[in-house]
Amino acid sequence: MTPPAVAKTDSIPLYESQSFYVPTFELWLRNQRMDPSLVRDVIEVTYEDHVDKVDSFTLVLNNWDANTRTCKYFGLERRPEQGSAAEELTQLLAPGTAVLLKLGYLGRTRDMRTMMRGYVTTVDLELTETTAPRIVIRGLNAIDRFRTKQYTWAWPESGTGGIRDSDIAKELAKSPDDKAGRPGIGFRIEINDAAKDKEPKNEHVLMHNQYPIVFLMERARLNGYSLFLAWDQTKKEEYLYFGPSETLRDQTYKLEWGRSLIAFKPTLSTGRQVAKVTVLGWDAKGKKPIKEEASIEKDGLNVDNKELRALAQAVNREEVVADPPATDKEEAKRRAVRLLNEQQKDLVTAMGVTLGLPDLRAGRCIDVSRVDYRLDGRYFLTGTTHTLNDTGYRTQFTCRSEKQA
């Protein structure tokens, strides 16, 4: 099953990409659109995602009925009559309730995006002396139900010449083999075959003490993909889709300080940078020591900016890793390069705020300009927080400097 491929676009200025009129949201509870009279109780809607965490949502609702002068959803003194409208309200947002959340804008057209399908996990009742009673509803993406057991596993197996992330996804669809320690989700996973062919082959991918579904979400976002539950109308069953999403526009926003960037706080830090990583080990067959190195000069730096490269190269620090010991030269080299790249991710990090952009998600990229010649350029989004309330719709994000492909 291959959904239509999404055409990539060059980075475009935010103010040219879409119209911003009236920010709005849609809530579907138990597969039914929330009644307009109840929508008015919603004070704030928040959606959060991160490259290595399951998506979550938060809803803040007014919990006071001015006509009956009683609490509306939670905090009732007496149990409502069975089958009454009051009883239905008390069950509407109870833990376990299925939720569909959409965010977007009303204008010449209704421009909405499905942010997530999830379920309610937590209900907080707030009763204070200064404000009307309200409730805070929190929930997680529906794929959280696959978070059952953590595993440690490495791909590819020896002699395979590398593996693509889509192939890893297909492997994880199998049921887990606890005896062999092999992870699995045991649920149907469909990939995008056209996108798979463009993926690079990974020489080494490690899942270290992670839930397979969280690990798979992390791999999806590193590729700019989506991972979500879908419905197969033909087979009448759910499945997980791993690949580019036709509902999320695959575009890179160009955010400019003073125009589309409301706030931007970059941090340039060389405190944790190293110029070289050395991995040590022991060759049991050859009975000789193993020593492999990775350096910025030989193995590159994951940023384009010349000034940043010069700063990183000026760091005269070397890291030596001997635990666990490498068992062959190839493994030692891969680990040295991986550790060097992980250190580079902390060279330039940033927090920012822009107008509400439903398409701005963890795993996507932005082009930042008019900040500083050393800090302008491509950034990889590590997390986003979308908030819609009475002050408008804003998207906060965290990111790191990224080399442009």
Provide the pLDDT for residue 396: 97
If you search the block for the tokens 């977007």, which residue do you land on?
104
β-bridge partners, 401:
379
- Report yes or no: 340 and 320 within 8 Å, Cβ to Cβ: no
The one-digit pLDDT tens for each residue of the chain (405 residues) are 333 333 344 565 555 555 567 899 999 999 899 998 899 999 999 999 998 888 999 999 999 988 888 888 888 888 888 888 778 888 889 999 999 999 999 877 778 888 989 999 999 999 888 889 999 999 999 999 899 999 999 998 655 668 999 999 999 999 999 888 999 999 999 999 888 988 888 878 889 999 999 999 999 888 878 888 887 888 888 899 998 865 444 567 899 998 889 999 998 877 667 777 888 888 888 888 888 888 776 766 666 666 666 666 666 677 788 777 777 787 788 778 777 777 777 788 999 999 999 989 888 889 999 999 888 888 989 899 999 999 999 999 999 887 655
C-alpha–C-alpha distance, residues 12 and 32, integer Å: 36
**What is the predicted pLDDT for the residue at 16?**
53
Reported as half-sphere exposure (CB side, CA atoms, 13 A), residue 277 has a value of: 23
| pLDDT at res. 283 | 81
The H-assigned helical ranges of 11-124 are 14-17, 36-39, 85-92
Distance between CA 142 and CA 132 in Å, rounded?
31
**What pLDDT score does 308 carry?**
66
Name the residue ranges covered by the structural domains of the chain: 151-243, 276-344
C-alpha–C-alpha distance, residues 286 and 394, integer Å? 60
Sign of CA dihedral 220, 225, 226, 227: negative
365-369 and 253-256 strand pairing: parallel
Phi, psi of 240 (to 5 degrees): -95, 135
Distances (CA, A) of 35 to 27, 39, 80, 136: 9, 6, 20, 18
Give CA–CA dist 355/376, Å, rounded.
19
Q: Give the span between the Cα atoms of 332 and 280, in whole angstroms.
A: 7
Architecture of the 151-243 domain: 3-Layer(bab) Sandwich (3.55)
Contact present, 386 and 17 (Cβ < 8 Å):
no
Question: Is the Cβ–Cβ distance between 387 and 394 less than 8 Å?
Answer: yes
Instruction: Give the DSSP letter string of 286-349.
Output: TTEEEEEEEEHHHH--S---HHHHHHHHT---EEEEEEEEESSHHHHHHHHHHHHHHHHTTSEE
192 vs 166: CA distance, rounded Å: 8
List the helix and strand counts (H, then E) for the chain. 9, 24
Q: What is the pLDDT of residue 213?
A: 94
Q: How many whole angstroms separate alpha carbon 237 and alpha carbon 218?
A: 25
State both tokens at 220.
């999806």
In the numeric block, the tokens 């270290």 are attached to 208
pLDDT score, position 294: 80
Could you tell me if residue 104 is left (phi over 0), alpha (psi between -120 and 50 degrees) or otherwise beta? left
